[in-house]
Amino acid sequence: MAKSILTGLDRIEKHWLKKLKGARVGLVVHPASVDKRLEHAADIALRSKKFKLKVFFGPQHGIRGETQDNMIEWEGFTDKKTGLPVYSLYGRTRKPDPEMLKDIDVMAIDMQDVGSRYYTFIWTMELCMQACLDNNKSVVILDRPNPIGSHIIEGPVLDMNYTSFVGQRPLPVRHGMTIGEIGSYLKNEFYPSLDFHVIPMKGWKRKMFFDDTKLPWVLPSPNMPTLDTAIVYPGMCLLEGTMLSEGRGTTRPFEIFGAPFIDPETLVKRLDQFKLTGVIFRPMYFQPTFQKHAGKLCGGAQIHVTNREKFKPFKTGVAIIKAVHEIYAKEDLWKQPPYEYETEKMPIDILAGSDGLRNDIENGVSLDKMEKWWSEECSSFTKNVRKHYLLYR
């Protein structure tokens, strides 16, 4: 059996920067901030001899998973286990304010990302970087794997006219970067004078999926229960911008999808015509227990990924929306604002990164023609920007 790789957290004590020895630290963590033995970063940091842990900061869903559902705000509290203050970065504010930073010298950030631009933890990281620059604090990222392979990039690059908390800077939807690499990109492109450091992983390779690392999977958020969820998420999260259930309220969120008006067999027959690679759709019925269509019988399907290397999650998500738009043209498909703090722009547009995807679907543009434009955007970003910030081979 292959050895498990070492994350930034696994290496923190040995590789903490000499110039930051004895610093007062604020730790940005969530439930998946654990080492290879499943010990939480809070406990590891508390006994460190290299720095003094003073406060916690928690992103969406809290530091130990306090909020279950999407877009549920929460406010700070005192951590019962350590007695230290916990500041919320998904409530009254998403950017740490000066008062929150007054007792620290460094923000150490340890969050498991899932490899998709929509996932809000990378944008919490950016807001922390902004606040640290404003208040003359240092930032240390404890790097972690991109669980869905960092060698595959897919989807449109964000147009800055469509910024939101599901995309604050130009990145493809499936970005193929680690959180440390994204931090390096943000630092160099937007915050060059920030005192910024990454404690890199050891033994991690770009082509690894999370199960290749031999690290334990911990839910980074309540609706990200498995690696299978993360693999489909770059496409299936698009359904949050529609009236289709993306499977929240079922035991397989983002793998199960549908709506009360859908006939499963009809939909799957159309999806099969797209000849998508690495995936099979199984027609089914389901009843979400919460969120969209809660308690109602929905027709739809479950995604079964048969080949992770060939599977294109973004193209698959677009195909599902396109198929439903074609078959059920009379249904009101698009969800209206507000969504993730955006009150004017359409949720589907801020998820896709522009209004181009919605317009193409409404105008009946072919799936392959759509894929051509987002692949060109993706390729340009990869060649001109991304390649400069990769820390691993």
CATH number 3.90.740.10 given to 12-223: no
Domain ranges of the chain: 12-223, 227-362
DSSP category for residue 136: T
What's residue 224's pLDDT? Answer: 96
Peptide bond into 338 cis (omega under 30): yes
How much is the pLDDT for 75? 83
For 219, half-sphere exposure in the C-beta direction (CA atoms, 13 angstrom radius) is 15
Q: Could you report the per-residue pLDDT of 136-185, keeping only the tens digit for each?
A: 999 999 999 999 999 999 999 999 999 999 999 999 999 999 999 999 99
Q: How far is residue 230's CA from residue 254's CA, in Å, rounded to a whole number? A: 9
Is residue 1 pLDDT above 50, yes or no? no
If you average pLDDT over residues 243-259, what whole number do you get?
98
Give the pLDDT mean for 18-34: 97
Phi then psi for residue 283, to 5 deg, are -65, 140
**Domain 227-362 listed as CATH 3.90.1150.140:** yes
Please state which of the ranges 56-65, 105-114, 213-222 shows the lowest mean pLDDT: 56-65
Q: Reply yes or no on whether the pLDDT at 321 is more than 90.
A: yes
CB crowding 56-69: b at 16 or more within 10 Å, else e: bbbbbbbbbbebee
- Cα 256 → chain centroid: 19
pTM, two decimals, is 0.96
Q: Report the pLDDT value the prediction gives residue 74, as an integer from 0 to 100.
A: 78
* Whether the predicted pLDDT of 5 surpasses 70: yes
Q: Can you tell me whether residue 153 is helix, strand or coil?
A: coil
Question: Which pLDDT score is estimated for 192?
Answer: 98
d(CA 108, CA 113): 15
The CA-atom distances, in angstroms, between 359 and each of 169, 355, 363 are 22, 6, 6
Alpha-carbon torsion angle 222, 181, 217, 107, nearest 10: -70
